Copies of this chain bind each other. A is one copy, B any other.
Amino acid sequence: MTSTKYDVLAIGNAIFDVLVQTDEGFLAAHGMTKGGMMLIDEARAASIYRDMGPATTMSGGSAANTVVGVANLGARAAYVGKVRNDEVGGLYTHDIRAAKVAFETNAATGGPATGCSYILVTPDGERTMNTYLGAAQELTPGDIDPEQIAAASILYLEGYLWDPKSAKDAFVKAADIAHGAGRQVALTLSDSFCVDRYRDEFLDLMRKGTVDLIFANEAELHSLYQTSDFDTALKQLNKDTKLGVVTRSEKGCVVASAEGILAVPAFPIERMVDTTGAGDLFAAGFLFGLVRNAGYEKAGRLGALAAAEVIQHIGARPQVSLKELAQQNGLPV
C-alpha cells in the first residue's frame, strides 16, 4: 500500500443549511414528518421559507459535516461534492476550505442553484429536514479523481447519494478505486426513509463488500432489516458487514465486529438544543479513532464526544476545537 495524503475523504450532497427553531404546529401545518429528511422542489422550498421564522444559515451536508469534524480533530480530510458557482456555492466553498478540508470539485456553471436544506428544529431539539438537492444532483463519475480517492485511507460515503441519479455511479466508481488501492470504504445509511427507498441496494453494497463499515442509527437499522427487534437487527448487521456501528442517542452506541458486540456510553450533555449533525459528528469522532488506531472503545468515545458537542448548539458543525475537547477528556488525538 502506498502512503496516503488524506486520512478520510468523503463524498456527499453539498447542502447549505437554513436552520430555524419552530414548534410542532409548524411541522403539522406543513405536513412534515418529524425527524426525517424529505426531498423538496423549488416551489415547496419557497413556500416553507416564506412561512418559517428567522433563520441561521451555515454550510452543511451530512458527509461534509463529518469531514469537517475529522479535520477539526486534527486529521487530514478531503471532500467531494457539487455546488453551483452562485453566491451560496461561494459561501460553501469558503467554509469547507476554511475548515481545512481539501475541496476541489468543480462548481456547476449552469443548472440548478446550490442545494439547500430547510431545517426545522423543535423545542425538544429534534430536527426535521426539507432538502432541495439543486446542484448536488449534478455530481457525476467525472467528478471522481482516481488519484485523490486512492490517496485516502478511508473513503466515507453517505446513503443520501442514492437520491441524485448520477451520484450513485460516482459512489460505486469511488468505492472500486478505493478498494483497488487497498483502502477502506465506509457508508452511513443517512436516514430511515432513505433506507426505505434503497434497502435492497444498500444490503447489496454490504453483502458484496462494496462497503466495509456501516454507520446507522437505530431507526435506520430497524428500517434496513424491517424488524422492531434491536438484537435481531444488530446480529444481522454483524453478519452483513465487517464493521457496523449503531448510534442510539442517549444510550450511546454499539460496535458490531468480528470481536463481537461492544457497547459504548454517550457523553452527558447540559441541554439538547439541536440534533442536526449528531450522527455526522459521531461518525467524525469514530473515523478519527480508527485513523489513530485507538480501538473501537475509544473510537466510540470520540464519536460520542463530538456528537455531544454538536447537539448543544444550533447547526451541524462544531463550534469548539474538538481536538482540545478530546484532550480534556483524556481521549487520543
Interface residues of A (CB under 8 A from B): 21, 49-50, 52-59, 68, 87, 91, 94-96, 98-99, 270, 273, 313-315, 317, 319-320
Interface pairs (29), CB distance under 8 Å:
A21-B319, A21-B320, A49-B94, A50-B94, A52-B98, A53-B98, A53-B99, A54-B59, A54-B94, A54-B95, A54-B98, A54-B99, A54-B317, A55-B58, A55-B91, A55-B94, A55-B98, A56-B57, A56-B58, A57-B57, A57-B58, A57-B91, A87-B87, A270-B270, A273-B319, A313-B313, A313-B314, A314-B314, A314-B319
Which interface residue of A21, A56, A273, A320 has the most chain B CB atoms within 10 A? A56
Complex Cα spacing A54 to B94, Å: 7
Other CB < 8 Å A-B pairs besides A54-B68, A54-B96, A273-B313, 19 of them? A21-B319, A21-B320, A49-B94, A50-B94, A52-B98, A54-B99, A54-B317, A55-B95, A55-B98, A56-B56, A56-B58, A57-B57, A57-B58, A57-B91, A87-B87, A270-B270, A273-B319, A313-B313, A313-B314
Residues on B with beta carbons closer than 8 Å to the beta carbon of A21:
319-320
This chain: copies in complex: 2
Residues on B with beta carbons closer than 8 Å to the beta carbon of A98:
52-55
Residues on B with beta carbons closer than 8 Å to the beta carbon of A56:
56-58, 315
Q: Top 4 A-B pairs ranked by shortest CB distance?
A: A54-B95, A53-B98, A56-B58, A54-B98
A304 CB, nearest partner CB in chain B, Å: 20
A49 CB, nearest partner CB in chain B, Å: 7
A320 CB, nearest partner CB in chain B, Å: 8
Residues on B with beta carbons closer than 8 Å to the beta carbon of A55:
58, 91, 94-95, 98
Residues on B with beta carbons closer than 8 Å to the beta carbon of A91:
55, 57
A167 CB, nearest partner CB in chain B, Å: 24
Residues on B with beta carbons closer than 8 Å to the beta carbon of A54:
58-59, 68, 94-96, 98-99, 317
Residues on B with beta carbons closer than 8 Å to the beta carbon of A50:
94
Residues on B with beta carbons closer than 8 Å to the beta carbon of A58:
54-57
A281 CB, nearest partner CB in chain B, Å: 14
